[in-house]
């Protein structure tokens, strides 16, 4: 007997809607077919059919390399010797060991690492708050956090970019390439708008597929984006294309800004960035047309290291001086959710002040820390809003790895990795490797035996797409969420991350804080305040409130305009709160890294379809499409390095070296774009090979040393690293 149910893919963050055919058998329900559901996001089966990943749901739900049962290490760490155990055995032992370590070293001895997209983060955050450790880490400092932080402190709350065919007069894409990283409704909307004549400006050192359809493509040298943004601001002011009425009423620090940007002429920026001055002026004119301009930035900005926060500050100013804030077709200042918010789900207030004071970030990243968060919360609470705490205070990985190795300022002896593969995705693989080997307890929740999982004490099988309900809430900063119900019960002994953390919590005395037995029940409770039943959620797969704009003009009880939830009540071009934290009053470009013996510049982190970071390299279809890791560069760069297209080469930095396949691409000279996330699942597991993690892993070449990171957020550099290139004369 079979039935068709509504459910969602989870092989990327979009959670596209599907109609799943499920067959009931004596062994349980089984997924036997999938079809795109045109009644739910992205509302067009042609878009879904253009994606390579969703078919993995049928191929991999019963895949031969999936982890299906709890595994406990029985040999030396990394030996590849495992014993199958029950969930109760695993949870009993893990909770007992965690309790013993906490009694000996304090609860901060436990750290966690999160990844995605196959996870819900708030159960981990809740467990860590109740356990008493501030040491959850991820890669938020180079993904999502920078934009959320700077927009929140500039406008009073994070924004959602409003690319709208009916309102947007122009679209700017800065450091993002949706043609390759997105492949969704958004990219199709951009293509249509471009064809219909809406100016599209792309800022990227590479001539990406997105840049190829642009009206104007600016290709700055990596790390010079702040100088470029300040030059665009300079040009808008110099040509008097500012929205003076908006600025005079709603912006703080404009006169200082005018003086600040005077040296950043287009000609000056041309010398710094390599972008022609005439193109900078043209970009400024397009941006400052009276019609709204939508500006979307991506990881290309988040991963600029010391220039990440200054660039985001400049981009937030750019929107403000043209009046493109909380304006249809430009952006919308988001609302707090009607459903239970992320900060309440994660029970952040359970972490005591004493426990927060043990955070490693304190004294290193002034904003991405509990003191930095607390000051911002006083601002947002004026409008009844609270930013998610655990994301925006997450521990800096470099500090965690060093504490594991040195025991300073206290020992970190245990790590739980959830949908994360730090040996491949975190900066400085050699440091990560030594740190993982130093642990007393390493637990990994995963689909596959990744290189990180191969070093674990326990590997626990994660329920995947169509085996778990989904509710993605954008980190708790918006009044919309999307997802849906599970199609089938988890195969074999797989479980959700919620089941794992609840199981640990119950064993460690957290009985009252985990009232819901299942993730589905917890999600039902989450949706209740919004008046959405589980049946409605399963049918529609999305909840959102109609956006309201120009909210700063609303009148309060005293007849005064609401303004913005900042120190001054205005958009802060001069950011007074960041000044309190020791930052400059206005954005200033940080100097670039230079190494005499490394004449080229490496960028990394670009998404390569059909992979997702370090995921899906085990898929044979994908490997046939894209079998080897590439290092893309221009024809002139190939020649300067003595390379030929298709030749193996060695890329080296001060940190290490790795092998890639040279590939000619249209981009600025002197730059090499190196693929991110590579390992070889088909190769030998365990030490010393760890499935090829030492061969083409770009994080052998990167550094996350806190001393070189951006001081507000702790962002490290993936874009703008000095490197050398050397031809290899074997087959890699």
First CA to last CA distance, the chain:
51
Query: CA–CA separation, 533 vs 421, rounded Å?
Result: 36
Q: Which of 24-38, 163-177, 301-315, 486-500 has the lowest mean pLDDT?
A: 24-38
Q: Does residue 732 register a pLDDT over 60? A: no
Q: Which CA distances in Å does 676 have to 222, 649, 667? A: 17, 16, 18
Write down the mean pLDDT value for the chain.
Answer: 96
Q: Which pLDDT belongs to residue 731?
A: 61
- 8 Å CB contact between 270 and 277: yes
Tokens of 588: 């200033």
- 8 Å CB contact between 303 and 717: yes
Q: Which pLDDT belongs to residue 28?
A: 85
Report, as an integer, the average pLDDT of 329-346. 96
Query: CA–CA separation, 483 vs 460, rounded Å?
Result: 24
Q: What is the pLDDT of residues 623-648, one digit of tens each?
A: 999 999 999 999 999 999 999 999 99
Segments making up each domain of the chain, as ranges: 2-60, 93-143+340-440+466-533, 159-333, 600-727
From 484, 654, 414, select the one nearest 19 (Cα to Cα).
484
Counting residues of the chain whose pLDDT is more than 90, the rounded percentage is 94
- 8 Å CB contact between 158 and 334: yes
Q: Which CA distances in Å does 251 have to 213, 312, 583, 648? A: 34, 17, 19, 53
Report, as an integer, the average pLDDT of 351-356. 98
Q: What is the pLDDT of residues 527-562, one digit of tens each?
A: 999 999 999 999 999 999 999 999 999 998 899 999
Q: What is the pLDDT of residues 144-180, one digit of tens each?
A: 999 999 999 999 999 999 999 999 999 999 999 999 8
Query: CA–CA separation, 708 vs 55, rounded Å?
Result: 42
What is the signed CA dihedral for 72, 75, 80, 82, rounded to 10 degrees? -30
Judged by phi (left if over 0) then psi (alpha if -120 to 50, else beta), residue 475 lies in: left
Q: Which CA distances in Å does 257 have to 144, 262, 381, 408? A: 26, 9, 28, 42
Q: Which pLDDT belongs to residue 585?
A: 98
Strands 136-137 and 110-114: parallel
Is domain 93-143+340-440+466-533 given the CATH code 1.10.10.10 in the classification? Answer: no
Do the domains 600-727 and 93-143+340-440+466-533 match in fold? no
Q: Does residue 610 register a pLDDT over 60? A: yes
- 8 Å CB contact between 411 and 108: no
| DSSP SS3 for 86 | coil
The CA R_g of the chain, rounded to the nearest whole Å, is: 25
| DSSP SS3 for 600 | strand
For the full predicted model, state whether its pTM sits above 0.85.
yes
Q: Which pLDDT belongs to residue 90?
A: 98
Confidence of residue 729 (pLDDT cuts 50, 70, 90): confident
Query: CA–CA separation, 91 vs 85, rounded Å?
Result: 10
Q: Does residue 703 register a pLDDT over 80? A: yes
Q: Which CA distances in Å does 513 have to 106, 120, 503, 522? A: 21, 17, 12, 11
Q: What is the pLDDT of residues 14-51, one digit of tens each?
A: 999 999 999 998 878 999 999 999 999 999 999 999 89
- 8 Å CB contact between 22 and 3: yes
Query: CA–CA separation, 557 vs 551, rounded Å?
Result: 15
Q: What is the pLDDT of residues 91-145, one digit of tens each?
A: 999 999 999 999 999 999 999 999 877 789 999 999 999 999 999 999 999 999 9
Is domain 159-333 given the CATH code 3.40.50.920 in the classification? Answer: no
The CATH architecture one would assign to domain 600-727 is: Beta Barrel (2.40)
Q: Name which residue leads in pLDDT, 474 or 270.
A: 270
């Amino acid at each position: 007997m079979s039935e068709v149910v509504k459910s969602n893919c989870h092989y990327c963050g979009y959670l596209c809607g599907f109609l799943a055919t499920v067959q009931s058998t004596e062994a349980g329900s089984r997924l036997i077919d999938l079809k795109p559901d045109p009644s739910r996001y992205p509302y067009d089966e042609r878009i879904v059919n253009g994606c390579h990943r969703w078919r993995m749901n049928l191929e991999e739900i019963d895949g031969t390399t999936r982890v299906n049962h709890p595994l406990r290490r029985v040999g030396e760490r990394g030996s590849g010797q495992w014993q199958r155990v029950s969930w109760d055995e695993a949870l009993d032992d893990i909770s007992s060991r965690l309790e013993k370590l906490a009694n000996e070293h304090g609860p901060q001895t436990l750290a966690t690492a999160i990844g995605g997209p196959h996870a819900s983060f708030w159960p981990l955050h809740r467990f860590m708050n109740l356990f008493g450790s501030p040491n959850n880490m991820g890669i938020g400092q180079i993904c999502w956090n920078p934009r959320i932080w700077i927009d929140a402190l500039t406008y009073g709350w994070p924004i959602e970019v409003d690319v709208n065919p009916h309102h947007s007069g122009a679209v700017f894409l800065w450091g993002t390439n949706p043609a390759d990283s997105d492949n969704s409704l958004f990219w199709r909307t951009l293509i249509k708008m471009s064809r219909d004549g809406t100016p599209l400006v792309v800022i990227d050192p590479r001539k990406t597929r997105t840049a190829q359809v642009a009206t104007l493509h600016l290709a700055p040298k990596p790390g010079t984006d702040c100088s470029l943004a300040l030059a665009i601001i300079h040009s808008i002011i110099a040509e008097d294309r500012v929205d003076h009425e908006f600025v005079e009423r709603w912006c703080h620090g404009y006169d200082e800004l005018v003086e600040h940007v005077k040296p950043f002429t287009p000609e000056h920026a041309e010398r710094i960035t390599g972008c022609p001055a005439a193109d900078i002026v043209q970009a400024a004119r397009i941006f400052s047309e009276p019609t709204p301009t939508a500006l979307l930035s991506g990881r290309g900005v988040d991963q600029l290291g010391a220039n990440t926060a200054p660039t985001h500050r400049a981009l937030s100013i750019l929107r403000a001086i043209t009046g493109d804030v909380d304006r249809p077709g430009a952006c919308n200042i988001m609302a707090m959710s009607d459903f239970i918010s992320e900060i309440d789900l994660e029970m952040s207030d359970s972490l005591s002040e004493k426990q927060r004071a043990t955070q490693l970030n304190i004294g290193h990243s002034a904003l991405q820390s509990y003191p930095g968060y607390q000051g911002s919360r006083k601002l947002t609470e004026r409008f009844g809003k609270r930013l998610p705490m655990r994301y925006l205070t997450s521990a800096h990985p470099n500090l965690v790895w060093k504490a594991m190795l040195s025991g300073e300022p206290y020992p970190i002896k245990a790590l739980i990795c959830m949908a994360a593969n730090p040996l491949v995705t975190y900066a400085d693989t050699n440091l990560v490797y030594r740190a993982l080997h130093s642990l007393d307890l390493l637990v990994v929740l995963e689909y596959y035996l990744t290189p990180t999982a191969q070093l674990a004490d326990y590997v626990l099988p994660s329920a995947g797409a169509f085996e778990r309900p989904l509710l993605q809430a954008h980190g708790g900063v918006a009044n919309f969420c999307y997802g849906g119900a599970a199609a089938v019960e988890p195969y074999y002994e797989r479980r959700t991350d919620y089941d794992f953390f609840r199981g640990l919590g119950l064993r460690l005395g957290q009985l009252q804080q985990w009232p819901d037995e299942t993730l589905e029940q917890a999600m039902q409770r989450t949706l209740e305040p919004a008046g959405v039943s589980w049946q409605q959620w399963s049918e529609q797969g999305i909840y959102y409130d109609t956006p309201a704009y120009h909210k700063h003009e609303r009148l309060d009880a005293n007849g005064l305009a609401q303004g913005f939830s900042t120190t001054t009540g205005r958009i802060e071009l001069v950011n007074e709160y960041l000044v309190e934290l020791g930052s400059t009053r206005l954005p200033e470009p940080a100097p670039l890294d230079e190494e005499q013996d490394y004449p080229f510049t490496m960028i990394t982190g670009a998404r390569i379809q059909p992979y997702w970071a370090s995921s899906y390299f085990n898929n044979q279809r994908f490997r046939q499409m894209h079998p080897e890791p590439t290092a893309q560069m221009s024809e002139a760069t190939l020649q300067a390095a003595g390379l030929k297209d298709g030749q193996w080469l060695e890329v080296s930095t001060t940190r290490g070296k790795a092998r890639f396949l040279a590939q000619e691409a249209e981009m600025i000279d002197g730059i090499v774009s190196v693929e991110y996330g590579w390992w070889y699942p088909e190769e030998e597991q365990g030490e010393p090979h760890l499935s090829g993690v030492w061969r083409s892993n770009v994080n052998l070449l990167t550094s996350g040393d806190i001393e070189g990171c951006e001081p507000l957020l702790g962002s490290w550099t993936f874009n703008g690293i000095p490197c050398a290139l050397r031809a290899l004369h074997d087959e890699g």
